[in-house]
Amino acid sequence: MTSRMARPEDYQAARAAHECGRLTIDWGRGGKWQAREFARKIGWSVPLLGFEKAFTEMMLKSEDCFSTALHSSIDVYFSKPSATLGHFVDPRDDQSYRTLKFEDGRIWLAENLRYVCGDTSPTPAPIGDLPARSDGSTTRGLLYAWDSAVRACPSGWRLPTSREWRKLIDAHGGPDRAAAALIELGFDLDATGAWWSGYLWHEEACFWSETRPGWLARLLHWVPPNSRSAYHIYLEHANSPSHRHRRFAEASEQTIVRFAVRCVRV
């Protein structure tokens, strides 16, 4: 992995790099003494022992703190996340999938599931400036109702939780930057759309999680007691040719809506 100097807009990526041990601080010619004086002037904690840890934690506390630290005498370096490419053949129908093993050890399907199971719909055709997949395939997977989605993954795999989705996104730069990073690693994020009441819309990439809202979330969002819903992750403006317009978000939706499925290795 190649390290590069952090900029203020790299806050989320720097946080993720720190959690994985991929962040380093160059204290500059003045060393930690100069950094101590800087921290003292702006009201940060300056302990006698463990200053480096305290400074790093404060620097990563918020985007403003991170930007402030970068305007001091220090330089912050971090390395980009990496992933190992693999392949998996579903023994149920001999469909072949690319997989990615990320730095946390979790293995994900790098493309949408195509197994015919229960309530499924084919995804819309590519639109606008959306490029063809690198392997030339036009099959972008199927869209599943949630009850089918939780049963669709092959043996040894399962639907990811919303927490696992968030962890993956945060580890690759956060909601505003993860799409570009994941696509660069080979994680397909085409605008496969969704199906609802006989209609297909394809402006976004939508993926089910196995997580369902608890009673408090249902209460806060005025979900009717007899309504069944689950969380999904979606990529806004997924069909935009510019990565900078793409942003991950999370919401709950009725389980009869059909979204794409990604599986994670158990």
Tokens of 142: 């199927």
Identify the band that residue 252 occupies on the pLDDT scale cut at 50, 70 and 90: confident
CA-CA distance, 102 to 208, in Å (whole number)? 20
Provide the pairing of β-strand 83-90 with 194-196: unpaired
Please say if the pLDDT value at position 17 is more than 90: no
Residue 204 has a CB neighbour count (10 Å cut-off) of 19
Q: Model confidence at 132, in pLDDT bands (50, 70, 90)?
A: very low
So what's the pLDDT on residue 232? 87
Token pair of 68 as six digits = 């402030």
pLDDT in tens, 67-76: 999 998 899 9
Spans of all domains in the chain: 3-79, 83-265
- Average pLDDT for residues 154-161, to the nearest whole number? 96
12, 16, 22, 28 alpha-carbon torsion, rounded to 10°: 30
